[in-house]
Amino acid sequence: MSTLHSLLKPKTYRFIDQSNLGPSFSALQSFATDDALSISVGERMSPTTARLWVHHNTVVLGIPDARLPYIQEGINYLKSQGYQVVVRNSGGLAVVLDEGVMNLSLIFPDSKQVNIHEGYEAMVSFIQYLFSDFTDQIEAYEITQSYCPGTYDLSINGKKFAGISQRRVKNGSAVQIYLDVSGSGSERAALLKHFYEIGRKNEETRFTYPHINPSVMGSLNELLDLNLSVADIRDRILIKIHELSGDIVTTPLEGQEIEWFHKRFEQMIKRNEKALENLT
C-alpha cells in the first residue's frame, strides 16, 4: 500500500454522517452541503471534514449529459426505471446512486501546496487504507468503458467500483467519491448504457460520451466476495479517521454555514432548472 497522503492527517477531523437520512434527502442538498462546508473549511472556521451521504435511486448527471441530443427521452427512461434525475456541480458524467452506494466527501482547506491532483491522490490513499485488511489490489487509472470514466477510477483486477470527482469553492476543496458497496455494479452500468443509447441514438456529438461495457464494473462485495453493508463502511470510515486523528468533532452545520447552505441550495435548484430548461 502507498504511504498515506499528508492531507489525511489533520490535527482534528469533523465527521458528519448523512448516510441514513432516507429517500427524501436530495442529492441537490448534498452538493449544497459540500459547498457550504468547503467555504467553512477554506475560511478555517471548520477543521478538515469527512461527510458520508447516501441517496436512494438517483442518477446524478454531469453538465455534458444535459446536452445529449435526446436527453429528454433519456431522462424519461431513467424515471420509468424509478430514478430521480439531478445535474451536479462538480466534474464528471452520469453516476448511479442507491442504497448500496456509499458516498464520501473529504473537504480540505486549499493552500499553495494543494493542487487539484493532491485532493484526488489523498482520496485514493484513504480508500486503499480503508480496505487494506481486505486487499492491496486497489488501483487508480481510467476504466474507459465504465460510466463516468476518469483518471482516478478505482478498480480491482480491472473492474471499477468507485469514481472520484472534485469541486473547489473559495479556499476549500470537496473531494467526492462514490463507493459501490453492495448490489450489482454491472446492473447499474447497464442502466446508464441504455440511457446513453437512448439519449444519443448514434448521432455524432461534439462531446465524447462513454460507450459502457457493464462487465467492467462491480461492487466491492462482488469483487472481494464480501457481505458488507453501507453501515459497515460508515463504521469503518469512522474508525480509520479516528486512527488518523485522535480528535473528532461531530458538529452539524451551524450559523453561517446554514446560510451558505441555503444560498448554495437555491443556486443548485436554479442550475438544474437551467441545465434542463429546454426539456418538458
pLDDT tens-digit profile of 72-96? 999 999 999 999 999 987 778 999 9
Write down the pLDDT at residue 88. Answer: 87
Q: Is residue 148 flagged as an active site residue?
A: yes
pLDDT range class, residue 279, cuts 50, 70, 90 = low
pLDDT range class, residue 116, cuts 50, 70, 90 = confident
Residue entry with cell 482547506 = 109
Question: What residue spans define the domains of the chain?
Answer: 6-275
Residue 153 near residue 141 (C-beta atoms within 8 A): yes
User: Positive or negative CA dihedral for 231, 234, 238, 240?
Assistant: positive
The Cα-based distances of 255 to 45, 91, 209, 248, 278 in angstroms read 11, 29, 41, 20, 37
User: Angle 123-151-69 (CA atoms, 0-180°, nearest 5)?
Assistant: 120
Which residue in the list 60, 140, 148, 268 is annotated as catalytic? 148
Q: How many helices (H) and strands (E) does the chain have?
A: 7, 11
| Model confidence at 100: pLDDT above 60 | yes
Q: What is the CATH number of domain 6-275?
A: 3.30.930.10
pLDDT range class, residue 274, cuts 50, 70, 90 = confident
* Selection from 179, 182, 198 nearest residue 190 by Cα: 198
